[in-house]
Amino acid sequence: MFFLDTPEPGIARLTIDAPARRNAIPVAEWDRLATSVTALPREARVLLIGGAADFSAGADLGEFDGFRQEPAAAARFRQAMRVGIDALAAVPIPVIAVIAGGCYGAGVALALAADIRVAGERARFAVTPSRLGIGYPAQDIARLAVLVGRGQAARMLYAAEVIEAHRASVIGLVETVAAEPWTEATILAREIADKSTLSIRMLKSVLSKGNGDPDASFDALFAGPDLAEGLAAHRERRAARFA
């Protein structure tokens, strides 16, 4: 259900395509998600992820009866979901989630692992564990709280209410709402792809992890080739041509 291609130079696209189940993700597909994002072409500078209609209905609820009867299966589901989401979050280039339609449950956790979220006007969001009597992974709760604040995260988790696109934008769950989300996301991806990959990788590392030695990376980039090209482009009043 995850299909990776390169629609144009520098931009990779991971399409979620299981419309019959609204892009719900079975246990086995979380591992395939991890495999897909680790197979990105070296020349990719930005990754788009999303579906043509729904983003994802979340986990495949058809598997949940089995989880009730076999606790080890529930643990395997949690571990597989963690592997897939963490693999997406660990992609070193910017990831843009394109959310044209429904985004529910574990689908929200998947979108939270992206750097930027572009929603369509028909996008809808809900985090639904309280409707089912289950929990939500702690790491994904933390990501949600960082993005929208503790109070809004609590409201989403406790009430499990459906949020439309413009409200999602107001609370900070998405960065952009557009009539044509794939077009909007592609334009943004082109803007990012034109910039210094060395710079963006350093910036993403600090935004994502907040650890390591960002000052050393900051200092090292002054000796890198991209600064020379960036300064030359500035002096010559032209667009930079980064390697």
Domain ranges of the chain: 2-191, 196-235
- Of the listed ranges 66-70, 92-96, 153-157, the one predicted with least confidence: 66-70
Reading the block at residue 172, the tokens are 């900070």
Cβ atoms of 55 and 16 within 8 Å: the answer is yes
User: What is the distance between the alpha carbons of residues 193 and 37, in angstroms, rounded to a whole number?
Assistant: 18
Give mean pLDDT, residues 162-188. Answer: 99
pLDDT tens readout for residues 19-45 = 999 999 999 999 999 999 999 999 999
* 193 Cβ contact partners less than 8 Å away, ≥ 6 residues apart: 9, 10, 11, 45, 46
Q: What pLDDT is recorded for position 213?
A: 63
CATH code for residues 2-191: 3.90.226.10
Q: Over 70: is that where the pLDDT of 102 sits?
A: yes
Of the candidates 113, 101, 7, 112, which has an alpha carbon nearest to the alpha carbon of residue 52? 101
Radius of gyration of the chain (CA): 19
pLDDT tens readout for residues 127-147 = 999 999 999 999 999 999 999
- Amino acid present at 209: K
Share above pLDDT 70 across residues of the chain, in percent, rounded to a whole number: 97
Q: Is 90 exposed, middle or buried (0-12, 13-18, 19+ CB in 10 A)?
A: middle
pTM of the model: 0.92
Q: Which of the pair, 235 or 123, is modelled with greater confidence?
A: 123
- Please give the distance of CA 159 from its chain centroid, rounded to a whole number: 24
How many residues are recorded in the chain?
Answer: 243
Q: Over 80: is that where the pLDDT of 191 sits?
A: yes
